[in-house]
A and B are shown apart, each in its own frame.
Chain A
Amino acid sequence: MFYRETGQYKTTYAADRAIFPIRQDRIGIAILLVVAFVVIPLFANEYWLRSVLTPVLVFSLAAIGLNILTGYTGQLSLGTAAFMAVGAFAAYNLEVRVPEVPFLVSFVVAGLAAAGVGILFGLPSLRIKGFYLAVATLAAQFFIEWLFTHVGWFTNYSTSGVITAPPMTLLGYSFESAESRYLLTLCIVAGMAIMAKNMVRSELGRAWMAVRDMDVAAEAIGINLMATKLTAFAVSSFYCGVAGALWAYVYLGTVEPQAFDVLRSFEILFMVIIGGLGSILGSFLGAAFIVLLPIFIANASGLFGSALSAETIAHLEFVIFGGLIILFLVVEPLGLARLWQIVKEKLRLWPFPY
């Protein structure tokens, strides 16, 4: 009844290809932005801002990165965390060696460094596909983790093998409080999400999806496969690199290379699959789902009180988590984004059956 696009005529192609062509969507997104930028920082407590919402945002950014590569271009990657690590260590090394550089610039450099490494490890994609490519990216995962653990230069010869992110200051303002860090992350992630959405709905995104759907036909219609695949690796890794730098600077503070191990790569892959392959919105939903579900399970099992030991609860969490993922994949293999789309389609007609 309320979600109806009747009467909203688009008279130009520019209006028709707006990001949110339907008025109700625009209102919805405006409310969401107000909540994210104003309501949450005002009312959320320290724990939620620092340990839940900020990680959700950082993971969303990494998931967008992986979604560009796997969801849009069809190149399966298990090296996401490694590209995040490249970003984190690149930003750290730049600031340690050139302290004058503002941290925002070092975030961009982090993205560019990850993009370069992404292109390098994307080269096998020109010859191999599917599971074989996944194994090749897995090699990137282990190699980069090994490199940062064993080559002292990257950690500035720190004896413990960990790096500590320098404080973030911009024009004299220091990003110390949970609110400021959350808002900083939100700005970066929201901006980059819009850019990703723009890319996937223009020439570049069509080239990526064409390569995903039918590479022979894509090439026959004039798409340079090599350039398109490597661009996807570069853009995807750029996103992962910035996410890695954020993870180190905004969330962890002190980072060891093992924070970016293969389990992290899988975690982000789960987010993309559960959120929805080939959907920017799905990247956010998937990240929120994976971060919030364990918290939800822990709270729910807390209701049973002392009947269960802490250890049992921890194990139960894994069991329920795994079970839910399997259930979810069976019921809706196209992810949360697809569920949302179905809800919207139903809403267009509600309360009428058709």
Chain B
Amino acid sequence: MKREIGSGPPVTALENIHLSFGGLRALQDVSVAVQPRERLAIIGPNGAGKSSLFNIISGIYTASSGVVRHKGEERPSRMKPYEVARLGIARTFQNIALFPGMSALDNIMTGRNSLMRRGILSEALQLGWARRQEIEHRRRAEEIIDFLEIPSVRRTPVGELPYGMQKRVELGRALAAEPELLLLDEPMAGMNLEEKEDMCRFILDVNEIQGTTLILVEHDMGVVMDISDRVAVFDYGRKIADAAPDDVRRDQTVIDAYLGTAHEH
């Protein structure tokens, strides 16, 4: 299947974003945009502002100044995270943020909550639409469970699952919301080679089959260079490079700031 990166207005664009916490300037004059169906990787040393950038996109932080655009339209400056989610932007967290007391299935079903109707009395009585919507959304959740190859753990409380499985369930929960833009914060962290390969396969399938736009923060350079269309490099809260993987690899500022002297693997 041939994947075409969309032209026209970016799914999400940050323009001249500044973010400070007291005296600490976490992001300085950052502009970055991602096109429909594109795979954008964000790299940089710890504290470079990668996670801050995600938190601004998902509405957890509010930028001190600058504009966030969604499909060309300026977003209100103080958008709540749940409102951002309802624009079709889903994310995973660097330290897994699942709901540990709930089963894998319920975690994934919770990802679909924003697509579901709420009516206290109808849900209490389980009549009519409330009953039908649970079943319809359950069907979609099961498709995601099959896709991620986790049917055997669907009833297990996620707190009891091994780390790699938790990462998959968290991806499943984000996918369940049927996002247009998926933010992945270190999806490969702490995984062995086999788990990384599985995760890469899932991420690429989501992007190529469903056309979901991706932004990922990742430290594994092999993965980043392999799967991304474009790499943005951050250092001390500034964007120091933004280009195709091969160009970034040769960029002297990037080598100095992050990659170091290139070793052949």
Interface size class of A (residues with CB under 8 A): 20 to 34
- Do residues A222 and B177 form an inter-chain contact, with CB atoms below 8 A? yes
Separation of A225 and B109 alpha carbons in the complex (Å): 17
Contact of A222 among B106, B113, B130, B131 (CB under 8 A): B113
Separation of A204 and B125 alpha carbons in the complex (Å): 12
Separation of A327 and B7 alpha carbons in the complex (Å): 66
Scan residues 134-155 of chain B and give those whose CB is less than 8 A from a CB of chain A: 134-135, 138-139, 142
- Interface stretch, picked from B8-16, B81-89, B196-204, B240-248, is B81-89
What DSSP secondary structure best describes chain B's contact surface?
helix
Judge whether A320 is part of the interface by a CB distance below 8 angstroms: no
Q: B193: which A residues are within 8 A, CB to CB?
A: none
Residue of A nearest to B141 (CB): A13
Per-residue CB contact flags for chain A residues 63-98 toward chain B (1 = under 8 Å, else 0) read 000000000000000000000000000000000000
- Do residues A209 and B82 form an inter-chain contact, with CB atoms below 8 A? no
Contact of A210 among B91, B102, B135 (CB under 8 A): B102
Residue of B nearest to A204 (CB): B123
Judge whether B230 is part of the interface by a CB distance below 8 angstroms: no
Q: A17: which B residues are within 8 A, CB to CB?
A: 134-135, 138
- Least Cβ–Cβ distance between A116 and chain B, in angstroms: 14
**Given A202-B130, A203-B118, A220 contacting B60 (CB threshold 8 A):** yes
- Do residues A202 and B174 form an inter-chain contact, with CB atoms below 8 A? no
Judge whether A185 is part of the interface by a CB distance below 8 angstroms: no
- Interface stretch, picked from B19-27, B93-101, B216-224, B257-265, is B93-101
**Given A209-B101, A210-B110, A220-B81, A203 contacting B116 (CB threshold 8 A):** yes
- Do residues B111 and A221 form an inter-chain contact, with CB atoms below 8 A? yes
Contact of A223 among B100, B113, B134 (CB under 8 A): B113
- Do residues B97 and A199 form an inter-chain contact, with CB atoms below 8 A? no
Contact of B120 among A12, A219, A225, A231 (CB under 8 A): A231
Residue of A nearest to B106 (CB): A206
Scan residues 197-244 of chain A and give those whose CB is less than 8 A from a CB of chain B: 198-199, 202-204, 206-207, 209-210, 212-214, 216-225, 231, 234-235
**Given A220-B60, A223-B113, A198 contacting B123 (CB threshold 8 A):** yes
Contact of B101 among A196, A231, A278 (CB under 8 A): A278
- Do residues B113 and A210 form an inter-chain contact, with CB atoms below 8 A? yes
- Do residues A196 and B124 form an inter-chain contact, with CB atoms below 8 A? yes
Per-residue CB contact flags for chain A residues 118-156 toward chain B (1 = under 8 Å, else 0) read 000000000000000000000000000000000000000
- Least Cβ–Cβ distance between B159 and chain A, in angstroms: 9
- Do residues B124 and A224 form an inter-chain contact, with CB atoms below 8 A? no
**Given A214-B98, A221-B110, A225-B82, A198 contacting B126 (CB threshold 8 A):** yes
Separation of A93 and B114 alpha carbons in the complex (Å): 40
Judge whether B90 is part of the interface by a CB distance below 8 angstroms: yes
Separation of A221 and B120 alpha carbons in the complex (Å): 20
Q: B106: which A residues are within 8 A, CB to CB?
A: 206, 209
Q: B60: which A residues are within 8 A, CB to CB?
A: 216, 219-220
Judge whether B51 is part of the interface by a CB distance below 8 angstroms: no
Judge whether A195 is part of the interface by a CB distance below 8 angstroms: yes
Residue of A nearest to B97 (CB): A217
Separation of A220 and B90 alpha carbons in the complex (Å): 7
Which residues of B come within 8 Å of A, CB atoms?
58, 60, 80-82, 84-86, 90-91, 93, 97-102, 106, 109-111, 113-114, 116-118, 120, 123-126, 130-131, 133-135, 138-139, 142, 173-174, 177
| 18 A-B contacts (beta carbon < 8 Å) | A13-B135, A13-B138, A14-B135, A198-B125, A199-B123, A202-B130, A203-B113, A203-B133, A207-B110, A207-B113, A217-B98, A219-B60, A219-B81, A220-B85, A222-B85, A222-B86, A224-B80, A231-B120
Which residues of A come within 8 Å of B, CB atoms?
12-14, 16-17, 195-196, 198-199, 202-204, 206-207, 209-210, 212-214, 216-225, 231, 234-235, 278
